[in-house]
Amino acid sequence: MDQNNNIAQIKEALDIVQVVSNYVELKQTGKNFSGRCPFHQEKTPSFIVSPDLQRYKCFGC
Ligand SMILES: [Zn+2]
């Protein structure tokens, strides 16, 4: 039972990364992923996706 829950959590945690990576080329940096923001023009990646929090944040927008 616990094991199944863990697997579900891992799968859920990866969801946002998979969705976002359809639009943005993501690189794993530690436990987060970073890439270039799809919402504004930038040369250095300031768009962070956190699988833990199931959230993304752009530090440039
Ligand atoms: Zn942005």
Q: Would you state the structure tokens that stand for residue 47, as one six-digit string?
A: 């768009």
- Domains identified in the chain and CATH numbers: 2-58 (3.90.580.10)
Report the separation in Å between the CA atom of 26 and the middle of ligand 1, taken as the mean of its atom positions. 14
Please, are residues 38 and 23 in contact by the beta-carbon 8 Å criterion? yes
Q: Are strands 47-50 and 55-58 parallel, antiparallel or unpaired?
A: antiparallel
What tens-digit pLDDT sequence spans the chain (61 residues)? 567 777 777 676 678 999 999 999 999 999 999 999 999 999 999 999 999 899 999 999 9
Q: How far apart (Å, rounded) are the C-alpha atoms in residues 28 and 61?
A: 21
- Give the Å distance between the CA of 51 and the centre of ligand 1: 18
Kindly give the residue spans of alpha helices, DSSP state H, lying in 1-61: 2-20
Gap from CA of 13 to ligand 1 centroid (Å): 22
| pTM of the predicted model over 0.85 | no
